[in-house]
Amino acid sequence: MIDESTTSTTTNHGTGAGLFAAVVAAIAASLCCLGPLVLVSLGATGAWIGNLSALEPYRPLFMMATAGFLGLAFFRVYRAEPAACEPGSACERPTTKRATKASLWFVTCVVAGLFAAPYVVGQLAASTEEAASVRTDSVTLTVDGMTCDACPATVKKSLTRLDGVVGARVSFDPPQAVVEFDPTKLTAKDLVEATAAVGYPSHIAN
């Protein structure tokens, strides 16, 4: 006869070991991305921090290992219950089973967070950079003297070579230039002078 108490205890131990292994593998999968950020945030310095990126090629393997450990844990917890439980055994205690399932889902959420963290951090960094680049002024210049489709390229080059110009959209029809620039480095007058200097006088559009 199978000892249900021993079976349940073995299952619980196996589930715990699987959850621990899943967390370790998830941390290893995220270390290459989050490790340098965390270390620098804590004030660590040194070229050695960049060596963590050497783990990047192994990230898919760590992620697959994590999924495997979690899958095994789910199988152990949610597989068919034994036909009978010995009185007083762990498999007979609903509280123990609920705690095990709660631990399983908690660890799953932690692992999902670790997997998503590098992407979330990247998106936040990108949005912060975009927000910083938006702090510019925009001006529309009416450009005179453009007579062919190649003229806008010349006007654009005269503008974008200025230190402080973030971007310029120049069109032949209508003959204008929409310029994004850093107001701490340039003024609209500087932009007008730049186009005039290459033979295309301009003025700020009304």
* pLDDT tens sequence across 135-151: 788 999 999 888 777 77
- Residue 65: what pLDDT? 86
Segments forming the whole domain that contains residue 162: 137-204
Intervals of the chain under pLDDT 50: 1-7, 40, 44-45, 47, 49, 80, 83-84, 129, 131-132
* 174 and 104 part of one domain: no
- Give me the pLDDT at residue 138, please: 92
- Residue 2's pLDDT is 43
29 and 53 part of one domain: yes
Residue-averaged pLDDT of the chain = 75
Residue 23 pLDDT: 80
Domain count, the chain: 2
How far apart are alpha carbons 161 and 158 in whole angstroms? Answer: 6
Do 39 and 112 belong together in one domain? yes
Cβ(104)–Cβ(15) under 8 Å?
A: yes
Looking up residue 147, the CATH number of its domain turns out to be 3.30.70.100
Asked whether residue 15 falls in the same domain as residue 41, the answer is: yes
* 0.75 surpassed by pTM: no
DSSP-derived pairing of the beta strands 137-143 and 165-171: unpaired
pLDDT of residue 181: 93
Instruction: Check residue 177 and give its pLDDT.
Output: 93
**Residues 27, 119 within the same domain:** yes
Alpha-carbon distance of 146 to 17, in angstroms, equals: 73
CB 177 within 8 A of CB 143: yes
Q: Are residues 124 and 65 in the same domain?
A: yes
| Domain closes at, from 96, 111, 132 | 132
Predicted local confidence at residue 4, as pLDDT: 47
